[in-house]
């Protein structure tokens, strides 16, 4: 094959990566986590084919990329991620995929964090390794506020419409339907959580500020003395005393955190451990974004009743 033919073939392959999806074809979407995958399904319907790199129970910050991740990205029209510094393994993965459209600033990379009101944004004097695993731009677990799912949904609709203009109206309606459903669900769950309004809880890791704020709970303390730092016996003993003196009984833990430590703390304080889903598919039965919040509210109310709360 002559050099000119090879060059033409390479140019054609490059141009094809810039061509919108043909009418009626599926958009190939890869997301970092199952939460984003489910929201993509809800917005895109049958016009999108979605795969998640993560399974659900794992810690999004500590994922070790697999060769299969690279294979998936090389076939993707869009790669959807949380943005900020939520997935520190993402830049090297994208470079390994060698897809120009998926590099930062490329038309195939979708950061859904824009427009979210971020919590726990550190000041300059807090940006030190001595403070533990601090996120530079703010807490990255914003999807645990159901109303932030609305923001994500509209980002997805806009991205799908860029790749598949023929489906734009369907994507916009998908995002609008998602918004209506999430607003209704949030209002219903807030009513159910009213008996716990302003109650203090202990959390294992800084995963829950958006969830706690939306459902009017307060954080007494964290099991980790600093983010990402395992607690020692003295810290646990002091925290148990604080829980007893404050009348706090609920200890919220993620699926990937050390449940045995949380249970020892709860036992000393006469409380209950509540394992909540931090991600779609993190726990059995949590198969959709909506069911994540339904499960977590059910679990909190059940634990509260076990501690003597009125049904």
**Are 106 and 163 part of one and the same domain?**
yes
The yes-or-no verdict on residue 133 having pLDDT over 80 is no
Domain that includes residue 58, residue range: 3-188
Residue 128: band (very low, low, confident or very high) from pLDDT cuts 50, 70, 90: low
| Of residues 12 and 209, more confidently modeled | 209
pLDDT at position 104: 86
Mean pLDDT of 271-283: 98
**Are 174 and 198 part of one and the same domain?**
no
**Are 158 and 266 part of one and the same domain?**
no
Q: Classify residue 174: in a domain, yes or no.
A: yes
Mean pLDDT of 62-87: 95
User: Cα torsion at 166, 176, 57, 297 (round to 10°)?
Assistant: -170
pLDDT at position 124: 62
- Strand partners of residue 291: none
Q: Classify residue 311: in a domain, yes or no.
A: no
**DSSP letters of 47-99?**
GEEEEESS-SSS-GGG----HHHHHHHHT-SEEEE--TTS-TTHHHHHHHHT-
**Are 182 and 200 part of one and the same domain?**
no
> Which of 170, 188, 206 marks a domain boundary?
188
Short-list 294, 202, 309, CA closest to 257: 202
**Are 162 and 203 part of one and the same domain?**
no
The yes-or-no verdict on residue 87 having pLDDT over 90 is yes
The yes-or-no verdict on residue 276 having pLDDT over 80 is yes
Q: Classify residue 245: in a domain, yes or no.
A: yes
**Are 183 and 202 part of one and the same domain?**
no
CATH of residue 88's domain is: 3.40.50.1980
User: Cα torsion at 221, 226, 230, 236 (round to 10°)?
Assistant: -30
**Are 152 and 41 part of one and the same domain?**
yes
- What the block records as the tokens of 212 is 């706690």
- What the block records as the tokens of 99 is 């897809």
Q: Left, alpha or beta for 264 (phi > 0: left; psi -120 to 50: alpha)?
A: alpha
Q: In terms of DSSP H, where are the helices of 199-232?
A: 209-214
Least confident segment among 25-29, 41-45, 213-217:
25-29
Taking every pair of Cα atoms in the chain, the longest distance, rounded to a whole number of angstroms, is 81
- CA within 13 Å, CB half, 250: 26
Residue 15: band (very low, low, confident or very high) from pLDDT cuts 50, 70, 90: very low
Give CA angle at 37 (36, 42), nearest 5°: 95
The answer to whether 31 and 40 are in contact (CB under 8 A) is yes
Q: What is the mean pLDDT of the chain?
A: 90
């Amino acid at each position: 094959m002559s050099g000119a033919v090879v060059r033409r073939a390479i140019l054609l392959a490059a141009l094809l990566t810039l061509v919108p999806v043909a009418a009626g074809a599926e958009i190939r979407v890869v997301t970092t986590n199952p939460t984003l995958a489910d929201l993509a399904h809800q917005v895109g319907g049958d016009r999108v084919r979605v795969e998640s790199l993560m399974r659900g129970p794992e810690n999004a910050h500590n994922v070790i990329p697999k060769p299969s991740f690279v294979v998936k990205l090389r076939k993707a029209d869009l790669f959807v991620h949380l943005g900020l510094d939520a997935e520190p393994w993402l830049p090297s993965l994208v470079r390994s995929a060698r897809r120009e459209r998926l590099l930062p600033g490329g038309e195939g990379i979708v950061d859904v964090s824009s427009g979210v009101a971020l919590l726990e944004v550190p000041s300059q004097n807090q940006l030190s390794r001595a403070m533990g695993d601090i996120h530079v731009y703010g807490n990255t677990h914003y999807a645990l506020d159901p109303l932030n799912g609305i923001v994500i949904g509209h980002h997805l609709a806009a991205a799908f419409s860029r790749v598949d203009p023929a489906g734009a109206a369907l994507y916009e309606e998908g995002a609008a339907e998602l918004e209506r459903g999430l607003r209704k669900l949030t209002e219903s769950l807030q009513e159910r959580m009213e008996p716990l309004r302003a109650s203090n809880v202990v959390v294992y890791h800084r995963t829950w500020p958006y969830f706690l704020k939306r459902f009017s709970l307060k954080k007494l303390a964290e099991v980790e003395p600093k983010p990402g730092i395992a607690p020692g016996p003295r810290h646990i003993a002091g925290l148990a005393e604080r829980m007893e003196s404050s009348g706090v009984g609920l200890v919220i833990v993620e699926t990937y955190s050390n449940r045995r430590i949380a249970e020892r703390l709860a036992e000393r304080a006469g409380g209950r451990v509540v394992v909540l889903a931090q991600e779609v598919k993190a726990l059995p039965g949590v198969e959709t974004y909506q069911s994540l919040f339904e499960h977590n509210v059910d679990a909190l109310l059940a634990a509260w009743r076990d501690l003597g709360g009125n049904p």
